[in-house]
Structure 1
């Protein structure tokens, strides 16, 4: 049995320690990432089994080789006699693929064998497996004696396989080290990162995207950010070689209607200036797919034209389902709902485009939260039947629910920053674990490694991270995202060491607060209150339910209603507004599933003030539903907002939209309720908002 050099190092370390060792310890000893160790363990288990050995895994302790001492010695003796192989079979296939992607002409088999220091027969076997691996992407290998080996297929298929290759090999630490080494002028521009892009090009793209990210209001997890940087770098290199992708006109037109296309266009123009290339529209479309598939962290401000009510409805049903399964009331937890909606929308886009995501915690989550994992697996299959959720995606959803189920309210007084690289779900999981184990920690803020560059670390009492932080000025403690017993003890010791500094800092903060309170800018507060009150007053004063005659054609019904609104002075250029509503409907349907009403919403410069109207039609007719099917519509809800109004109008309409689908009773109210009943509901919503607002 062949055992690679890395496998030998890992096996020797586990056996020789003769105790439970953590994944982090193994990774440090072999000098690779923890993710690499997780991947290697899959091939190590059958090797151990061949020698009547096994791995015992204990949560909070780690791994230990279990078996007779003579069997352990037998395996160690075998490894000492065996010639080491530098690369595993999977590593060789990745290196072969990278070589073929870069090659401008066929590559000879003996060249690959020589470079990888294996026999021609081994490379031939690797190529057989690689052929099967690349087939689902629409790629194939041309293998002819005397000709060599060549990768054939459309450019877009090569881009997609590179995207998944990046996900498989994604190492956030390597990426950050590359950026940091460049800052310290210790990097070679010609080296390859992730095996596919040049380091020099990648650094330029990262610098550009970092500056554009905030201007374009992009909210990306670390993994999504790095994957996008590498994708853009690879795209530029391919364009410079004259390789561009093609896209169906209909698909491109659909992407142009999305909010991400404009951001992609601005990124493309900046890249054109930086690299002196011309980026075709199809490339911009492919960039748009990446942005739509990015795993965005939750943003508190929702815009009315960004709300996907179909996903919101199904998310509510999933939360109800898990509430019933676990016996915990999760239905009223806004943070859970908002975090799930924010994760599921890009996740569904990602899965539809067959883009993969890697979750290094999947197996541990599945073991530690087995029943919750099974319940969520059943839930997504029931409420998202058209999408096949892989285990890595389900594990991310488990993190969202797990964080809520772990919460324990206690009096605390320490302000901590939690740094994670896997997105907001794992950050919340760690924060709630810390809250449970360390009640003295009162408040948590969440950050990714990328965002940490823009945060004042000194403003926190302590920083807890799941990954190494490469910034020398940051004092932190590193733990597992699931916080085992040893981690909790180390954090307590860390707190004890920092208590004197915390007390002194809090004294200084209290003194400064007393000075600030004397100079509060009440004009700014008054302006915010006035803006919110203006929006609420407009919505409530103009709210109405009217009976209207349905026209023979749906489009005619919409245009007639908009012309009436124009006559009443609420809008101008009714046909333009009608076109906007109809285009919005074409993108995904506006009918609320399992009801007989639809929600038409639009923000536009030709709308003069925010209004919420309801129209009861004298005759129901069929419209497109949010779940892709058809449904009867007898009632039409209309939300219209001026373009220039900011977050106030978006927040109020988001409040109404969320209340529509918050429960079966609520959907019944909006679908069949009287004007007085719905108006009373709006009053309650706005009153609660004003009561809880932090002006």
Structure 2
């Protein structure tokens, strides 16, 4: 079987994608027109039939289908065909150029680069223009020396991040760890090409060093993170060995000692020539990469580490995306996931590794281009932090996942009007159940039954016959329903809201466990409501410390054990991050302390406002104190209830108005509605 280089590249891309690939992603990866891609796919389809492999298109995604043996045979045949430059894509070729330049200690000519990759000098020149923006983002510059060639200039820590990030993006985790374990390359792939850029001995030593920490210090890292840190360590060892030390770091003051110790332990696996050159800056650089991978954001609203300002911005961000996409993404789980992801992302933003050539991210961008653009615009409108394209794509993954999840839980009632008999109707129903991602109810009707049916009960009406004069909207479909008809039905359902909400999955849960959880959360809810009260406070000529002490002293001793210590904890929390709610006279005063006996929520209204910082960085006059405290350790039910109160303050202007101006009864009723909603969300029912 004779395949062109382009056909090999297309097949490899499809084989490596778990979910299939779109035409648009192939166009972008291969760098040709759609017409060319369609022509290549047609040729590939004919060639693969001889091997017993089918090229299948389903829902716009191309996949390869065959037995395990035939797919493996195809993979082996392609992997062993030709040289590395035959299978390397344009994006990977550009990655190779960066690595070849930055891993050289001397000048390299464009002719040498073109010979290494078996492409023309013009192609290399064009590729160099394409990669310069990435290098500039990390303050690394290509330096062209007339009549000699190319070299580079930049801080060593940035150079290592670029090399490590590119290698991590191009190398497959499975092949990478297989190579470290077996010390040999299994096949000719893009991964094997980039693995050959390492110093073999130093890469193996790096793998051994990382393995020594797997059971303890690095046990929580994912495969991808372990690959990244192994690559960072190997590249660092190579650069140190070539006398390219880290001479400067932007900020190393926040690096924790435990990660410096891990970095020190990892370098002990190398020979004395490298160990002797490892200075404090080298340890800080590696420790910083490890620390970034362990960063997590506190989700407990009462924790001292909880970032209230970030939480406010995340909710505002989600609100903007929801409004722009005309879809309600305001889900507590999504907000918590984003809080964790964005907190980690912003923490490592200055020290992160670049990420390129990620097929999964490109697929999701291709599938949701409008949502991607909206997320980018909403981010720029909310946060004062520039994100790379890949970072926006990771945010898109969160939103797209929530969108797909909510779609699958939708319930539509569909009327099937079929005059061809019950057999044909059942085939039609079965096909729809297989292809539509919803929990639908299908009602089959004959034309003679139409006079007895209330059509307003149905979200969609499908008929295998034309119905002249029929007064309700309907779609005509063929009895065996074609692919394009399925797509049309799916689009129609996505554009409407179901008449009925039947997304109740609680019947699958243990009823005794449900009842127990319901009892606990109901008890917690009633205690928070019973303890609640709006209190008025004389704040004339009082400092913030005095106001906090005065507020806390109003609480019963059963709630607060040591008034002064709790007030001090609240004050320290306010010093750590702003608590004022933007464009209001309210603030969320909160903390947890060992001197608090039980969770408490209340509202204090001051006689005289006091100036504090708000979450948007401006100043505000605080008059309405939304007050929340808890012990250091509380169960998950209290955490979710208190978190729901916190979310309700920011996500809804009507709620905030009640907290600011409502009386005891009005606020208690609001709390009851919030708690009931939490019970529904968490299946405590």
After TM superposition, give the deviation of residue 175 of structure 1 in Å.
0.7
Q: Distance in 1 between matches of 2:565 and 2:286?
A: 30
Checking the alignment, whether the CA contact within 8 Å between 1:544 and 1:614 is kept in structure 2 is yes
Change (3 A) 1:611 1:352: farther
Q: Which residues in structure 2 correspond to 1:407-556 (within 5 Å)? A: 407-409=408-410, 436-437=436-437, 539-540=528-529, 542-550=531-539, 556=545
Name the counterpart of 1:243.
245
Kindly state the Cα deviation for residue 179 of structure 1 after the two structures are TM-superposed. 2.9
Contact 2:579 2:588 in 1 (8 A): yes
Counterpart of 2:447 in structure 1 is none
User: Is residue 2:153 matched to residue 1:152?
Assistant: yes
SS at match of 1:616: strand
Q: For residues 321-336 of structure 1, what are the structure 2 equivalents within 5 Å?
A: 330=328, 333-336=331-334
Distance 2:607 2:136 in 1: 55
Q: Is 1:655 paired with 2:644? A: yes
1:284 aligns with 2:287: yes
1:179 lines up with 2:173 in the alignment: no
Question: Does residue 137 of structure 1 match 2:141?
Answer: no
Give the secondary-structure state (helix, strand or coil) at the position aligned to 2:359.
coil
Q: Secondary structure of the residue that 1:602 maps to in structure 2? A: strand
C-alpha displacement at 1:438, in angstroms?
A: 7.6
CA distance in 1, matches of 2:566, 2:573: 11
Distance in 2 between the 1:124 and 1:389 partners? 24
Which residue among 6, 18, 42 is the counterpart of 2:28? 42
The structure-2 alpha-carbon separation of the partners of 1:99 and 1:9, relative to structure 1 and needing over 3 Å to count, comes to closer
Aligned counterparts of 1:564 and 1:396: Cα–Cα separation in 2: 47
Deviations 1:68-99 (A, max 9, x none): xxxxxxxxxxxxxxxx8886775455334324
Determine whether 1:9 maps to 2:5.
yes
Q: 1:111 to 1:360 in 2, by over 3 A?
A: closer
Instruction: Give the match for residue 98 of structure 2.
Output: 97
Q: CA deviation at 1:36?
A: 13
1 CA distance for matches of 2:23 and 2:38? 21
The separation in 2 between residues aligned to 1:93 and 1:571, in whole angstroms, is 63
Partner of 1:499: none
1:601 aligned to 590, 604, 616, which one?
590
Does the CA contact (< 8 Å) of 1:336 and 1:400 recur in 2?
no
What is the alpha-carbon distance in structure 2 between the residues aligned to residue 613 and residue 336 of structure 1?
Answer: 27
Work out the CA distance in 2 between the residues paired with 1:107 and 1:532.
Answer: 68
CA contact (8 A) 2:308 2:577 kept: no
Aligned counterpart, 1:360? 359
Output one character per residue of 1:375-411: Cα deviation in whole Å (capped at 9) or x when no partner.
5555445545765674635643551453156325469
Which 5+ residue runs of structure 1 have no aligned equivalent?
1-5, 15-22, 64-83, 412-432, 442-483, 490-512
On the 8 A contact 2:176/2:227 being kept in 1, the answer is no
Which TM-score applies when normalising by structure 1?
Answer: 0.59
Q: 1:440 to 1:585 in 2, by over 3 A?
A: same
Q: Does 1:628 align with 2:590?
A: no
Q: 1:387 to 1:634 in 2, by over 3 A?
A: farther
* CA distance, structure 2, for counterparts of residue 338 and residue 435 of structure 1: 32
Whether the 8 Å contact between 1:605 and 1:642 is mirrored in structure 2 is yes
2: CA distance, partners of 1:435 / 1:603: 50
Tell me the distance in 2 between the aligned counterparts of 1:436 and 1:32.
21
1:605 Cα deviation after fit: 3.8
Cα deviations by residue, 1:616-650 (Å, 9 ceiling, x for unpaired): 22222332222233333212223233224453443
* Aligned residue in 2 for 1:591: 580
The structural deviation recorded for 1:59 is 7.6
Q: CA deviation at 1:325?
A: 5.6
Alignment of 1:669-688 (within 5 A): 669-686=658-675
Does the 8 Å CA contact 1:304/1:653 hold for their aligned counterparts?
no
Change (3 A) 1:314 1:155: same
Q: Distance in 2 between matches of 1:263 and 1:209?
A: 13
Matches within 5 A, 1:71-220: 91=92, 93-103=94-104, 105-109=105-109, 115-116=116-117, 133-141=134-142, 150-162=151-163, 164-166=165-167, 169-171=169-171, 174-180=172-178, 193=195, 195=197, 199-201=203-205, 203-204=207-208, 207=211, 211-212=215-216
Partners of 2:23 and 2:133 lie apart in 1 by 25
1:476-508 CA distance string (max 9 Å, x none): xxxxxxxx969x99xxxxxxxxxxxxxxxxxxx
Q: How has the CA–CA distance of structure 1 residues 165 and 40 changed in structure 2, closer, same or farther, with 3 Å as cutoff?
A: farther
Between 1:148-157 and 1:229-238, the stretch displaced more is 229-238
Aligned to 1:445: none
> Which whole-Å CA distance do the structure 1 matches of 2:597 and 2:284 have between them?
34
Q: 1:665 aligns with which of 654, 671, 678?
A: 654
Contact 1:305–1:603 under 8 Å retained in 2:
yes
Distance 1:183 1:159, change over 3 A: closer
Kept in 2: contact 1:601–1:639 (CA 8 A): yes
Count of aligned residue pairs for this structure pair: 547
- Tell me which of 16, 27, 32 is aligned to 2:13: 27
Larger Rg: 2
Partner of 2:471: none
User: How far is the alpha carbon of 1:207 from its aligned partner?
Assistant: 4.0
Q: CA deviation at 1:686?
A: 4.2
Q: Secondary structure at the match of 1:661?
A: helix
Deviation at 1:9, TM superposition (A): 1.3
Q: Distance in 1 between matches of 2:602 and 2:199?
A: 53
- The one-character-per-residue Cα deviations of 1:29-55 (angstroms, maximum 9, x if unpaired) are 899998999887437545899999999
Cα displacement string for residues 584-611 of structure 1 (whole angstroms, at most 9, x for unaligned residues): 4455422222322122333344544433
Change (3 A) 1:38 1:308: farther
Residue 637, structure 1, aligned to residue 633, structure 2: no
CA distance in 2, matches of 1:672, 1:336: 30
Contact residue 610 and residue 640 of structure 1 kept, 8 A: yes
- Deviation of 1:263 after TM superposition, in Å, equals 8.1
Q: CA deviation at 1:550?
A: 4.0
Q: Is the 8 A contact 2:164 2:235 kept in 1?
A: no
Correspondence for 2:505: none
The separation in 1 between residues aligned to 2:24 and 2:265, in whole angstroms, is 38
Distance 2:185 2:269 in 1: 20
How far apart, CA to CA, are the structure 2 residues paired with 1:693 and 1:52? 48
Distance 1:138 1:389, change over 3 A: closer
Deviations 1:141-182 (A, max 9, x none): 455579985533223322432354246x345xx212333566
Larger mean Cα displacement after TM superposition, 357-366 or 589-598: 357-366
Which residue of the partner structure matches residue 444 of structure 2? none
Equivalent-residue separation in structure 2 for 1:30 and 1:681 (angstroms) = 51
Q: CA RMSD in A?
A: 5.8
Asked if 2 retains the 8 angstrom alpha-carbon contact of 1:140 and 1:151, the reply is yes
Cα deviation 1:225-247 (Å, max 9, x = unaligned): 65455446545666787834644
Q: Cα 1:90–1:553, aligned 2, differ >3 Å: closer, same or farther?
A: farther
Alpha-carbon separation, structure 2, partners of 1:49 and 1:100: 35
Query: For 1:537 and 1:62, how far apart are their aligned partners in 2?
Result: 51
